[in-house]
Structure 1
Amino acid sequence: MTDPTDNPHESTGSRSADNVLNSQQAAAWNGYEGRYWADHQDRYDGLNDGANIPLLDAAAIAPTDRVLDIGCGNGHTTRLAAGRAAYALGIDLSAPMLERARASAVAGSVDNVDFVQADAQAYDFEKAAFDIAISRFGIMFFADPVEGFDNIARALRPGGRLAFVCPQDFDRMDQSTVFAAIGEHVRLPDLSQSTGPSPLAFADPDNTRRVLADAGFDNVAIEGIEQPQYWGEDADDAAGFLFGFGPLRHWLREAHADSLAEQRARQAAVDTFRTYQDDSGVRLIGRYWLVTAVHP
């Protein structure tokens, strides 16, 4: 998720994000949203880590494999893949998140990984350099999905595998109930609709099959999975985390929400999160597609 209103001009890391085809995404992930993800690495991993084992098992990584992690963010999946592989490269647009990814790799003594700041749709990968490409919720933001997957296919050897996880329709996610409660007090966009790059870009399996086929992939398989998302230690903690999200901040500004309306919306989120709270914290169910394909 992105906040297209943020547009700082900052970059860190050893490689720069030149030749970027989606400038709005680059602005968001190098602005507030990217910094928020980097600063809250553990919180976002709590949301998304349930998908790690299904993704990595589906990728069937062998000890001799070279792995490409697309939209790697803070690099958790890159490091996990490196633990199964000979080498892993993470690619992402976000300088703040890649800074965190590199620091985490060093702290964890993971020395068979590299990270590059670039647009995976446009980056000049070495041809047939990788055995496997993976992505945990980082594959949905291509300006042109067919072109993006075609570029990934170029990076894979013949017979190379693709495995990624992406969200199903938003109304199938437990978090939709939280946003519905917020929407009773402030105007939100229709989150069930997707236009262009967004978390829901591949919510429709038929569209996913078309895109991958047009990009030259074979043996496309799509499986639905359900995994818990850890949102916080209690409902107040979860709501505070959610209201720091870039998109929600942007929507509140766009709706010209006054302080009272925002306060009511936040309380509605707390009340809804409380229905998912137990002694272990606040846990919602995320419903995803696990997609695999082969580069012939």
Structure 2
Amino acid sequence: MHGIANTAQAQAWNGHEGSHWAAHQDRWDAVNAGFNQPLLDAAAIGSGERVLDIGCGAGTTTQLAARAAAPGHALGLDLSAPMLERARTRAARDGIPNISFEHGDAQVHPLTPGAFDVAISRFGIMFFDDPVAAFANIATALRPGGRIAFLSAAEPEGNQWLQSLTSLDDILPMRGFGAPGAPGMFSLADAGTATAALTEAGFQDVRAEHVQAYGTWGRDAREAAHFLLDSGPGRHLLEQVGPDDRERARSRLVEWLRPYRTDGALRLRSTAWLLTATRTD
């Protein structure tokens, strides 16, 4: 892999976080699948186009892009070696020939200038140390007039999975967790911050549309609670308290989640900004 600017993220996504997402790719897809169609509709990928998928993870959105672009091509770029291994295995299994993956940090990765018609991302753009630099690097990879469709997490209070963890704030050290603008998944939760960064990076016609979707977190409250607390944020919080508090947190989370089980699945609402723009000619 070429140089890395986001070293903390590289460590996380090549450690437990990346391994967890790779091992539970089907589960994470169930959480985020409701955002796929809005993303694809906004990207409007045409036959024969070249697509760059930023923070592609285990490759689900890259596969969707490759199918839409055929006989064009989709390239997935991600920091996480475990997730890319999963992505390559799945693409080979599913027989998708017009797809490839690269291991790299989109903020500094050497992308071929003008090589792509469109760039997409499903929640892969919130973790840059320098978003403007990252978006500018992505812009150079687009042809003049090329377009983007990116999803970033919106207001924390609109995400029920985060509300469920916040209900544990007298047990777990929640202070600052999920704060808008702070490094991490809510760094672009303010639409103005996100659109300003894209404009400064050389994009025009920048728009932010508020979207929401319900994701499946498990079959029932107990399964969903285990999944939430074994993910990166949940694991980080549990590691800071003792065994008794961990058990208290798990029990309370199960009770908080119970009302959200319907028709054999536990579903929670998430909110996002769907960011669209075109590269300046």
TM class by shorter chain equals over 0.9
Matches within 5 A, 1:97-116: 97-116=83-102
Q: Which residue of 2 aligns with 1:59?
A: 43
Q: Which residue of 2 aligns with 1:125?
A: 111
Alignment match of 2:226 (pick from 240, 259, 265): 240
The amino acid of 2:219's aligned partner reads E
1:173 matches 2:197 = no
Alignment match of 1:223 (pick from 201, 209, 221): 209
Q: Which residue of 1 aligns with 2:22?
A: 38
CA contact (8 A) 1:143 1:196 kept: no
Q: After superposition, give the CA deviation of every residue in 1:206-244 in whole Å (9 maximum; x if it has no partner).
A: 111110111010001111111011000000000111111
Alignment match of 1:293 (pick from 270, 274, 277): 277
For the aligned residue pairs, the C-alpha RMSD in angstroms reads 1.1
The amino acid of 1:241's aligned partner reads F
Moved over 6 A (4+): none
1:270 matches 2:254 = yes
- Tell me the TM-score normalized by structure 1: 0.91
- Following the alignment from structure 2 to structure 1, what is the Cα–Cα distance between the partners of residues 194 and 263? 39
Alignment match of 2:126 (pick from 125, 130, 140): 140
- Following the alignment from structure 2 to structure 1, what is the Cα–Cα distance between the partners of residues 79 and 172? 31
1:82 matches 2:66 = yes
Residue 196 of structure 1 deviates from its aligned partner by 5.0
Q: After superposition, give the CA deviation of every residue in 1:176-221 in whole Å (9 maximum; x if it has no partner).
A: 3211222232222322414554111111011111101110100011
- Following the alignment from structure 2 to structure 1, what is the Cα–Cα distance between the partners of residues 252 and 147? 44
CA contact (8 A) 1:72 1:135 kept: yes
CA contact (8 A) 1:183 1:265 kept: no
- Following the alignment from structure 2 to structure 1, what is the Cα–Cα distance between the partners of residues 29 and 14? 19
- Tell me the TM-score normalized by structure 2: 0.96
1:49 matches 2:28 = no
CA contact (8 A) 1:170 1:191 kept: no
1:188 matches 2:187 = no
The amino acid of 1:289's aligned partner reads W
- The 3-state SS of whatever aligns with 1:61 is coil
Q: Percent identity?
A: 45
Go from structure 1 to structure 2 and tell me whether the alpha carbon gap of 1:196 and 1:122 turns closer, same or farther (over 3 Å shift): farther
Structure 2, unmatched stretches of 5+, are none
Matches within 5 A, 1:148-167: 148-167=134-153
Q: Which residue of 2 aligns with 1:212?
A: 198
The amino acid of 1:23's aligned partner reads T
Go from structure 1 to structure 2 and tell me whether the alpha carbon gap of 1:121 and 1:216 turns closer, same or farther (over 3 Å shift): same
Q: After superposition, give the CA deviation of every residue in 1:228-271 in whole Å (9 maximum; x if it has no partner).
A: 110000000001111111222222223xx121111111011111
- Following the alignment from structure 2 to structure 1, what is the Cα–Cα distance between the partners of residues 103 and 273? 26
Residue 117 of structure 1 deviates from its aligned partner by 0.4
- The 3-state SS of whatever aligns with 2:247 is helix
Q: Which residue of 2 aligns with 1:8?
A: none
Residue 46 of structure 1 deviates from its aligned partner by 0.7
CA contact (8 A) 1:234 1:282 kept: yes
The amino acid of 2:194's aligned partner reads T
